[in-house]
Amino acid sequence: MGLASEKPDLTRQSDVDLVRLCLGGDKSAFAELVRRHGSLLRTHIRRMGAQGADADDMAQEAFMSAYEHLSEFRFDGAFVGWLKRIASRRYLKRMRANQKYLLTDDMSPFEPEPSANEGDFRAHNLDAALNRLKPVERLCVTLNFSGDLSHQEIADELKLPLGTVKSHIKRAMDQLKAILNAGSTVVMETGT
């Protein structure tokens, strides 16, 4: 009989229903979306190449931006896909401002973090394997596999020829398979 019984259980709502509730002014519905997809978005941004606190900042900005643009969500795809696109956009924008992170063959800024050193590496640790790729290969393969962007969309975003994007993804996939297949005891030598 109480008012509490009229409030829907947000954990049982679909993303689309939560978005509709948000559009109706229910902020707790958006909090549920953050709870549901926060880790996924943080991981997506990290896999593109952002590091620690930067990745969390960008994830936070992406959520806040999504909230402000919620009325533009067209319900023709998964909400999380839309969210990832916003995050990807923010990451690429940030990366363009720091050209040293993008489209470079220099691996020095991307040495594996201490937690991902040889001793801790596991055969199926995708994140550790991604750390071994060149930044542009890592970015392309993550945008394709995690961000669900087509090769053409990636080429447009990165302003690279389509063929270059395809070869980056191909090379990245070959290396990921090699690294992940090699097993935990193998010391990787990328690019060789």
Partner 1 sequence: MSDMKLDDGDIRDLFAVTPVYNDAPAFEARVMRGLRLKLWLRQGFVVLAGLVGGLYALAQFVRVPNWTFGEAVMSGSQAARVETGQTFRAGVEFFDVIGRKAVDLFYSSVHYLGIMQTPIFFWVSFSLCLACLALYYAYSQEETI
Nearer to partner 1, 81 or 109 (CB): 81
Residue 177 touches partner 1, criterion: CB under 8 A: yes
Maximum CA extent, the chain: 69
Nearer to partner 1, 31 or 106 (CB): 31
* Beta-carbon contacts of residue 11 (< 8 Å; ≥ 6 apart): 32
Spatial contact of 78 and 33, defined as CB atoms under 8 Å apart:
no
Please identify which residue in 10, 15, 30, 121 interacts with partner 1, judged by CB under 8 A. 30
Please identify which residue in 31, 106, 150, 167 interacts with partner 1, judged by CB under 8 A. 31
Could you give the string, one character per residue 121-160, with x where binding to partner 1 holds by CB under 8 A and - elsewhere? --xx-xx--------------x--xx--x---x---x---
Residue 104 touches partner 1, criterion: CB under 8 A: no
* Beta-carbon contacts of residue 156 (< 8 Å; ≥ 6 apart): none
Residue 70 touches partner 1, criterion: CB under 8 A: no
Residue 89 touches partner 1, criterion: CB under 8 A: yes
- 49-68 positions binding partner 1, by CB under 8 A: 56, 59-60, 63-67
How many whole angstroms separate alpha carbon 145 and alpha carbon 175? 15
* Beta-carbon contacts of residue 177 (< 8 Å; ≥ 6 apart): none
Q: Cβ 127 to partner 1, closest distance in Å? A: 8
How many whole angstroms separate alpha carbon 131 and alpha carbon 169? 15
